[in-house]
Every structure is written in structure tokens, then in C-alpha cells.
Structure 1
Amino acid sequence: MTARSVEARRLQAVVDIARTMTGVAPDQRQVSEAAARAVTELLGDGCSVWLTVPGERTGLARAGAAHRDPRAERLLRHGGDLIEDSWGADLLYAVLEAGIDAILGPAEVAAHLDGPELGAAPWNAVDGLGAVAVVPLGGDGSVRGVLVATREAGKPTYADGDVAFLHAVADTAAATLVAIDRLAFSTAAVDDMRRQAELVDQVSDVIIAWDAEDRVVNWNSAAERVYLYSAAEALGCDAQALLATQFISTATGEAVSRADLLAELGRTGVWNGELRQRRADGDEVQLLCSMTAMTDQFGHVSGAIAINRDVTEHRREEKLALHDALTGLPNRRFLLDHLAQVLNRCAAGAGLVAVLFLDLDGFKRINDDLGHEAGDEVLRVTAERLWSSVRRHDVAARLGGDEFVVVAEQVRDRWNAEELGRRLIAAIGEPVVVAGRTVRVTPSIGVTLVDAASAPLRGPDEVIRSADAAMYTAKRGRSGVSFAA
């Protein structure tokens, strides 16, 4: 037999071990027997697979064996008694704990047989052995057992190619055993959820579960109502991709990356936040989410279950209550609440705050000459320019009419605040085409600065009145920007 054909047969044997997953109800015994049989048929050695016993640090149980000679059969068939009696368990458990294989050639075996401690290894009780290989079954971050191969005396010791083949068999068997465990756990979890399906479908909240590959395994009737996907359409799909999910922190309002969410699930087992998702008709929905990790018997995250409450309408009502209907900017109610929080942070040492009050010069003439629709368009354009000109963490709001307020935190100094005001004047002062005519409005801006010392003494209304008074000073002096005294 050529070297190439030997390699081909060995590769096919490894593939056959992995294929045990495709059988009906694959189990540990089938995988272990396939591994032992591959070693016996292709190396001509005796082989036995021993798996760790769950819950026992030093427990081993034989799961599969194949024998070619009486000595190997005697050793591997009765070796369990020797191991249980702690005769020669040291080497096997060293391999288990270290995850490093032990290859004993004729010299090592002879040394054990001739040594003073005849119970140092289980094969010492058997004459005529020439070589022994103990290879760990590593997988899923732990060693699940050992593969023990024995070769009779007179045969060549284990060559590098033989050892590589033993490792391939052991690694494939271990990976297949991990897959079987996860499949069994997922199946049990899904069966349990299905037994509760009738109860789950009576719940008004969305309940979704997915496995380690993000495939949907549970989709209740509330999920069908909210997302407009039937269970038949959703099951088996990638849960996050199907709904274009964005994870939002309820504490900060900022997006949470999938990696950070998975890290939190792995660390604490739970994640609470908000979801922005896309339903089947393309509309966005917002949901409060309570997510719990599902773990396998080894404690690894194997999926998650989420209980989501649709708050889309509530969020829409909140936005209408806190935002200006014409421009979409935050309204006075939002502004006062936000400014109160900003002043508290300022008092705690968060840095200088600038409050800018803007009034549009010439706006009344546009309303009178071109009508209120043209005036509304000017206000919408002004709001867009205002919002695009402030920093991401600043807030621009509309008080009413042609009056706007900007709250800027962590301003460096007075000149930095004035620079912001000049930038707003330049942006808003660009021409606007409305009702077929080109018009221009420019704001007068009053600025109030609040530092840590004065913040505890001032309330939101008083700060806005102060900036309003400074705005009238700017309007009278046509200076563009004026600071409160």
C-alpha cells in the first residue's frame, strides 16, 4: 500500500468519525467506538476510549474499545478495575489534567515492567506489550477523556505519522462529542419551551429564543403580531439579521455593540436595555428587552431568550410631548428638564456651561410678505442648520415662534462660547429659497455662562431669562452675540 493511499484511508477514517453526527440520535458510545475502530483497523493496535465522568474529578468510564490481540484486549477490557483501584491512574490523569499526550516506546514500557513499582501503570500487569500511546480528547476548552492505544512487542514504536493520526482521531472525536452535547442541550431546551408554548402564546410580551448560532428556536404569537413574521418564517433564521437589531443602553441612550452585549451576557447571564428593530413591512419598532443567557451543562453560553415589550407607541407619544411638531427639535418642556440636569452636572464640576438664546431678525417680515407657510419653511430650515452646527452632545431646542435655545456643556471659556455663537450666525444666515423667493434671516444671540460656583444658585428658567435679556442687548447693538452681565 502506498503512502498516499495510507494517508487517504486515515483521512477517510477521521471523516467517518465526524459523520456519526448525521446518524439517528448519535451518542458518546457510537463516537467512541468509531474512534477505537479507526485506530485498530488502520494501525493494527488495540484501542480503548475512556471518557470523564461528569461531576467526578478523577472518574473515567470506558465508552468504546476495539482489540486486535489478547494482550491488548486483556489490558483494555480489564484496565478499568486497575484504574478504579488507583493502579496506574497517575499517567492517565496527568494526561487528563495537562492535555498533553504520553507516548511510551519499548524502552519506557520495559522500564516500567522492570521497575520496583509494578503498579505504576495499568499495562504493567500485561506482558508482551511494546508501546503505549495515551492521547487526550481535548475540546470545548477542557479535556473530555483519553484514547489509549497499545502495540504488541516486536512491532515498530509509534512514528510521527502514527501519533499525528492518533491526534486527528482524538480531536475529531472530542469535537463531535461537544457537538452532540450541545445538540442534546438545545433539543432539551427547545422541547421544554415547546411544552410551555401554550402558556407563552398567551403572554402579551414578545418571547424569542435563539441558539449559539443565533438561529431562532422559539417565536411566540406576540412576536408574530409585533414583527409581522410568522413563526414558520422566523424559525431557523438569524435572529439579529432578520430584524436588523440595534441594541441601546437605557442608562446612556447610546448604542451597544453586539460584542459588548455578549460579554455582558457571559459575565452576568442577563442584559436589560432597549431594542430598535425592523419589522416585515419595513417600519421601525422600539422594545424594552430583558435578555437571559441559556447555558449548556458546561456553563458555556449556548443561546439566549429575550422577553421584549413593544414601546413604539409610547416612545412616539413621548417624542410628541417633548419635541416641537414643526421642526422636530426638543421643546420647552424637554429643554427645562435637560437644563436642570446640566446645571446639576456643572455644580458637581463637569465644566463650564453656555446657554445661547437665539431670535431671528427679519422673520416677521417674511411671515407678513410671503405667508405663514413660507415662515414655517424658514423655521424648519433654521432648525436643521442649528442642529447640524452644534456638537453631538449639545442640545438645540425651539421655545416657540422664532426663538431657539442651545445648551452647550464643557465649554472651554467665554471665547469658545462666542465662537459657537458666530458659527451659528454664519450657518443660519445662509440664503433660503421659499415661495419662489430668496430670503435671509440672521439671529441675534444672547449668552449666559454658568460655572460650578454659580450653578447651585441658578435654576433653568432664570438662566434662560438671563440669556434672553442678553439677546435683546445684541439685537439693539446689532452685535450678533452679547453676553449676560
Structure 2
Amino acid sequence: MSQQPAGPEGPDAAHHAVDAGSVDLVRLSMQQSAVATVLLAPDGQLLRMNQAACQLFGLPMERLRMMTWQELAHPDDLAGEQANVDRVLSGGTDSYRSTARYVRGDGEVVHGDVTVTGIRDSSGRAMTLIAQIIDITEQRLARAEARAAQEQLRGVIDAMLDPWVLLNAVRDDEGRITDFVYVDANAAACRENGTTREELLGSRLLSLAPGQLRAGLFTQYAAVVESGTPLALDDDPSPSDLPEGGMHWFDNRAVRVGDGISVTWREVTERVEQRRTLARQALQDPLTGLANRQKLMDSLAESFSHTPRTGGRIAVMFCDLDDLKLINDHYGHHAGDVVLRAVADRMASAVRDEDLVARVGGDEFVVLATGVRDQAAAVRIAEKIGAAVSRPVSVLGGVIVPILSIGVTVADAGADPHEVLRSADRELYAKKTARGRT
């Protein structure tokens, strides 16, 4: 409730009077100050105020002189400010400083940095109070907006599925980076490290992830800090720091932030393994597991492009499994598949690790052998393959003895691989014709 105006000019002037020197000093400081300044009676009545105070509260001077500071205070701050004022009035303190909110004449809330000082008479009793209020509304709103933005950013970061950490460089006396310390992390990074955010922050990178040192990733992180060049690694292999060990693959991104880095990563082990499986399947015969025609042609082109490391020549053997159609017709295609797989396994076991065995058709196989001395040596390899294949195979209660017809051609590096393959095919056809098995 508003009180009757009172002040040095009012009927209660004697009650609120202070010595003339103090009043003159207060008046002069109020007039010259750009800070909102108000002279208050002990009961809260506004006695005098400068123009800055009128602007702060959004009310004319005549209106303010009819009010108490309690009417201007924000309801939520009133009790606290009243307690502070009472301490000054009781002599508990000469002044206090606080932050408080006030309600302007237009209903807007302003935030103030408030300093209140008691002006006392010769007996030490506080006769009046002088309040100076600095408008900090914009600063408070800016801080509130900054906090809201930080909370929003934290929410976005913690909602990320990919782990993210902020690391600061740890340097030795000579300025070299010896480690990194965690200064921030999102929820995904904490889960991946098996720890809470509070436990993770302040920890050292190499103590939690020594595998990153072994993988050279630490060195690359340090280079990002020193050079400022961002790091972008795709399908980067890294040994696991987990007890079960093994190799994992990651996409990794790092950018410099101050004397540290912002890092995010994504494990792509499953993607890499799937891609490798698909690549392998693209070059592999699905029934036998041998190389397919595409793999054979790639290997032929590679082999004939240069002389074998061990010297010698290059042998190509075109092989045909006799009577596969009869096996399929008599026992069924399942039995034929059993025989094909057995033949493939035996052929692969009969050659050297560096040789290639490929299935290029239903009953056709090709063997590529490098570093072969001559035609006779190639023929001996073919005979070894034929002998390995011709062991009996049990199928559906019956026994089948596979027979492999083989055409052999030997050529030197630089030859046309397609022509060499056709030559081996012609040799095969000639042998089958001679045996009457075309």
C-alpha cells in the first residue's frame, strides 16, 4: 500500500531529517549519478530519486515519491531484501549489496545490482537509507539465454548415437604433448568407456585407451593440435582395449579446439566385415568356395604382367570333371554337388599355397601355377591333381570315382592371358577327344 509522501519538504521533515551536510552531499551525488539512486526513509518510503531511477522503474518522479520500495520489489525477492534492510537499520551492518528484481510501471521485470547504505545521526541511528541500483537485466537475460543454449547443446550432444569427447593436451616441460585429459564427454562416450561422466572427466586418454597409442591414433591426435589440420579416418583399424582383444574398425573425426581436440567416432567393424564378405563372395564360387571366373581373370592378368618372383614360367591347367551329367541324372543334383565340393577340396589340397584353383563353369576348373620350370613340371603338377581327385567319393549309399581331364599350357610373362587360357582349353579338348570322352 502506498504511504503519504514524506521527505525534507513534507510535514514529517523533522522525523526524517539528517544533518544538512549529508543531505547536500546526497542530493549532489544523486543529481550527477548515471546510476539509479534513491533516498529512502526507514519505513521504505521513497524520499528522493534521480532521473536514472525514474527511467529504471518506468515511473515519473511524482508517482515514485508516493510509493515505498516494497511496492516496487518483486514479490519473490521482497522477504530477502527486507531482511537485508532490517540489518542496516538495526546496526548489524552499515551497508549491503545484493541482486534483486523490481517491477516497472509497465509490468516488466528489471534485475538490479543493489547497494544500500545507512546514513546515521550522531547517535548512530540510521535516519535514512541511500540505495543505488545498476540495471543488469540485459546481462542476466544474456546469461539465462547462454545457460539455456548450453543446456540445449548438452541435450543435443547427449542424444548423439556416436561417442564424442573433448580432450585437452597434456604437455611436458618442453611443451611436447604426452597425453590428453578428458574435459567433456557425451553419454555415448561414457557408455563406451563403461564409466560415468563424472568419473571420465579428468581421466587420461592413454590410461583408458592404451590401444590408441599402439594404433598410432594418439600421434595423429597430437598432430591435429599442433597443425590445426582436421583428422578424418574411415575404416581405421584399432586393436581393442577390451579383455577379449581382437581388431575393430572405426570412422574417426578430430578437430582442434584451443589446446585440445574435439573427437567423435563410430565403430564400423560390422560394416567393414560385411563389405569384406561381399567382396570375397564376389570373387568366390558359392558352391565350392574356390575362386570364381572373375577372380581367375584378375589373377591371370596380374600373373602375366610380370615375371614370377621365383623365376620360371606360368602354367595354366584347364580341367573338366568327366561324367558330371551322368552323376546328376543317376543320383540327383545334390549328389553332383557333393562330388563337386569333394573335387574342389582335393584340387586345392594338391597345389601350393601360392597357386590358384578356380571353378569357372558347372564341371570346369582352372589351375594357375606360377614359377613353374617347364612343361614337364607343369604336367607333373597336373598328374598330382588328377591322382588326388580320383579317390572314391561316397554318395547316397553309392561310390563314385571322379575323373578329371586336364589340359596344360605353359607360357612366359607378357603373354596374352586370354590366349593362354584358350590354349589350355584346346589341350583339354584334344585329350578328351583322344579318350573318346567329348
The TM-score by the shorter chain falls in which range?
0.3 to 0.5
**Which structure carries more helix by proportion?**
1
Q: Highest CA radius of gyration, 1 or 2?
A: 2
